[in-house]
Structure 1
């Protein structure tokens, strides 16, 4: 039996875990101890990092996220220590932390659990490191805000024991699950963590059972840890708020359902639900702020348009339903173009959204004139919306740079803060990350790196590696990423285009940094962050409006062709000399689809018979009329991220001998310069070639 078993439950916080294990190993010097890491199906390379950097750690790898309680119990069952320490992976411990806690438990036989002083990264005290059970009165003071108004009074400050001196040792009812050391004998008596609690509440429930069994729980400020609060739980789920209040309700039903009158139990549950509802409402209000600002400007534009057209506003009240429809169309267009995500204040996107909405609203006016404003009103309103909605976003961006107006500058930087990841894990990516992180006024919040392949996950980087390129869609949603930054040393054009295609439905922006890190290259604008200008990346084929136009053209052309060729289709089915076969074709994004072919007398058919199955693939959305070269599927190959086409720049020049570099340049040209007219030109040249 050893002195101490230290248990960490990890979920996608590799860099924090690495720092935590290093500090824990140093703090355990002089003790007989063992370390367990239970990994809850991380995707960020945590497991290979532990195996390579910390071979002495006992690693348990779960195939899925088992939750905090169940994962800790897995390790507790295997632990051989006299004492068990549960500690979060996003922590740093002092060199004496474990020796102080073990010595205290050995010297105080009546103490069952001890916890140290837990600090935030800025050095302030984390209030959750000592607290009381949520009895009806304690819960009321917390929900009503009395505990925040009168934190130093014993009557109102019991929730987080804020009336106690944080530098004084104290017997408490509960301590934080981020760091707790408990006797193994206590666990044998009261049982393991309750696995009904997936995340949140299990530590409070454990403390309650230990307290009821007659053991003391002590807050010990003689040692301390730093806790980067919320990193693991931030990674775990977007429903963290729901899980938290669900755990609190479970705790109340489990422990206060009996022994208290019906009213206090209902009071606690109602308080928890009210608190959860308030949190949900705050989140909803934050999401609605930008649409509400836009709605005010849209109404202002409509009123001005009516005033210009008629000289009065009497018609406005008569057309309230139409006003709602017009406003809804414009707001929907703004949302589709991603303008209601945090940090997106694109003037050009706002203007595009207004113009697209203007087309729909003008169509509504044309087809239903008896229910709509005049076309002049719609036109005036659309033009003013373009000015207003694009203009106020431009004003916010300019305000963020007005350091001589502190309020405006702070508001602008807060609204414009863009969350970004850097693609690559090589030295250029690390250097770029460090330089962007040191630019306080850059407007960027760089979350971490994204590895190009699995083997790069354990490169010993000093900064977070969130996952691989294959995880990008998940990472973008989980971390609310606005921009992906490429470095040319880490990513080829094929990789860049493949990533853009893979995440084209997420409405994120892309930037690229050349080798000398002087610029980040892209479409039309340059963001200068002191010595790092950032230039946007954009390929016209991925523009939502262009994608709709292209798909609509494919459907119309292919649909008409298939209808006209229906007799030929019937003949191919009835003719015994014709066979339909399929082969795997690369979809341009690393996958494949089955393309049908007609074979006549064992040979591939030509002319219309060759076009028939390909047009069916176009109609189904597997191919396009104009696209990339049709290539057989080979495992492990990527692509430039757009569909193969019946024709295209490469196919049109198939009689020439083109090497791979020339083909890539032609496809890049098509991606950057795509338009409906370019597609029509390629189709016409193919027909008359």
Structure 2
């Protein structure tokens, strides 16, 4: 049986870890090791993990928070060194269905050991889709997720080739990692999964969406939500970095982004969210000043 390493990055995720890990331990796929990489959490995450799970998980404590990609790379290096056939990236603010892992692996095996993404539902609205795979829209310089906020009526129940899979959950065979390499750590947060998907496709591997593999996501729970300052700063800066690196239409994509932000600025002004305007402008400025990794200012 193919052994799989589930890599969970934790940062102050004490509210989410137990429910996520419990769902993995209930999986019908038995050849699973859970690797939790802690990004220098300031809560009691590690204490609680050791209390509840003891020898059921592997814990690596990073002394510094260098971002999601850096922490994931620690887990992937461990998986390669210990010859795991598959790696599963999994956010800790998720719960997986019992057969999700086995269905992801079945899809990969049936399709020449491809990369596979599951159907991801909203945790709070379990019949509403968050992601049914996706693609990179180069003219906009961003990704889209199929089925986003749609009621699940079976319209995304066929597996298909995709060009983007959210880093919330991706199954990656060992042979893909050996060819593509590790994650790009310059992003710190967001778009590192988009970058990795781009490299997967560039190296002639396939990414598949598998609807029979299902999970539930407490969206952006550990970063404070999509209107948080942290989310806006890193999403803005990382989007610019990604497009500058890869996009042959980056002038068009940047114009599109700035126009979309102009609309947001009007809304933020109406709502007196001047802090969000400041944060997004800081992100743009930091990108053009080549500031990478963790922001050198408070968010």
- TM-score, normalising length from structure 1? 0.36
Point out the structure with the larger helix share: 1
1:155 is aligned to none
Matched residues in 2 for 1:212 and 1:53: separation? 42
Pairs within 5 Å for 1:490-639 = none
Matched residues in 2 for 1:234 and 1:211: separation? 31
Matched residues in 2 for 1:129 and 1:273: separation? 27
Query: Is this contact kept in 1: 2:13–2:45, CA < 8 A?
Result: yes
Q: CA deviation at 1:99?
A: 1.1
Q: CA deviation at 1:31?
A: 2.6
Matched residues in 2 for 1:288 and 1:22: separation? 39
2:279 is aligned to none
1:286 aligns with 2:277: no
Q: Secondary structure at the match of 1:58?
A: strand
Q: Secondary structure at the match of 1:54?
A: helix
Query: Is this contact kept in 2: 1:39–1:62, CA < 8 A?
Result: yes
The 1:12–1:280 alpha-carbon spacing in structure 2 relative to 1, beyond 3 Å, is farther
1:119 is aligned to 121
Matched residues in 2 for 1:173 and 1:280: separation? 31
The 1:208–1:71 alpha-carbon spacing in structure 2 relative to 1, beyond 3 Å, is same
Q: CA deviation at 1:233?
A: 1.9
2:162 is aligned to 172
Larger Rg: 1
1:41 aligns with 2:31: no
The 1:238–1:251 alpha-carbon spacing in structure 2 relative to 1, beyond 3 Å, is same
Matched residues in 2 for 1:247 and 1:214: separation? 25
The 1:219–1:240 alpha-carbon spacing in structure 2 relative to 1, beyond 3 Å, is same
Matched residues in 2 for 1:248 and 1:33: separation? 33
2:18 is aligned to 18
Pairs within 5 Å for 1:174-193 = 174-193=164-183
Pairs within 5 Å for 1:226-265 = 226-234=216-224, 238-256=229-247, 260=248, 264-265=249-250
Query: Is this contact kept in 1: 2:129–2:147, CA < 8 A?
Result: no
Q: CA deviation at 1:71?
A: 0.5
Q: CA deviation at 1:201?
A: 0.3
Query: Is this contact kept in 2: 1:200–1:244, CA < 8 A?
Result: yes
Pairs within 5 Å for 1:192-211 = 192-211=182-201
**RMSD across aligned C-alpha pairs, in angstroms?**
2.6
Q: CA deviation at 1:127?
A: 4.2
The 1:175–1:278 alpha-carbon spacing in structure 2 relative to 1, beyond 3 Å, is same
Query: Is this contact kept in 1: 2:6–2:87, CA < 8 A?
Result: yes
Query: Is this contact kept in 2: 1:2–1:33, CA < 8 A?
Result: no
Q: Secondary structure at the match of 1:50?
A: helix
Query: Is this contact kept in 2: 1:6–1:36, CA < 8 A?
Result: yes
1:53 is aligned to 52
Matched residues in 2 for 1:89 and 1:206: separation? 20
2:285 is aligned to none
2:66 is aligned to 66
Q: CA deviation at 1:4?
A: 0.3
Matched residues in 1 for 2:262 and 2:35: separation? 38
Matched residues in 2 for 1:74 and 1:15: separation? 23
Which structure carries more relative contact order (alpha carbon 8 Å, separation 6+)? 2
1:89 aligns with 2:88: no
The correspondence for 1:130, drawn from 130, 133, 149, is 133
Q: Secondary structure at the match of 1:132?
A: strand
Q: Which runs of 4+ in 1 moved over 4 A?
A: none
Q: Secondary structure at the match of 1:23?
A: helix
Structure 1: unaligned runs, 5 residues or longer:
143-157, 290-476, 479-689
Query: Is this contact kept in 2: 1:245–1:276, CA < 8 A?
Result: no
Q: CA deviation at 1:63?
A: 2.3
The 1:33–1:99 alpha-carbon spacing in structure 2 relative to 1, beyond 3 Å, is same
The 1:66–1:2 alpha-carbon spacing in structure 2 relative to 1, beyond 3 Å, is farther
The 1:45–1:117 alpha-carbon spacing in structure 2 relative to 1, beyond 3 Å, is same
Matched residues in 2 for 1:200 and 1:128: separation? 16
Q: Secondary structure at the match of 2:42?
A: coil
The 1:26–1:127 alpha-carbon spacing in structure 2 relative to 1, beyond 3 Å, is closer
Matched residues in 1 for 2:69 and 2:160: separation? 26
Structure 2: unaligned runs, 5 residues or longer:
149-153, 275-297
Query: Is this contact kept in 1: 2:93–2:221, CA < 8 A?
Result: yes
1:266 is aligned to 251
Q: CA deviation at 1:282?
A: 2.5
Matched residues in 2 for 1:52 and 1:198: separation? 30
Q: Secondary structure at the match of 2:36?
A: strand
Q: Secondary structure at the match of 1:176?
A: coil
Matched residues in 2 for 1:134 and 1:188: separation? 27
Matched residues in 1 for 2:273 and 2:162: separation? 42
Query: Is this contact kept in 2: 1:112–1:210, CA < 8 A?
Result: no
Task: String of CA shifts for 1:25-77, please: whole Å, max 9, x gaps.
Answer: 111x4432211101112222111011111122111112232211110001110
Point out the structure with the larger strand share: 2
Q: CA deviation at 1:93?
A: 0.5
Q: Secondary structure at the match of 1:192?
A: coil
1:275 is aligned to 260
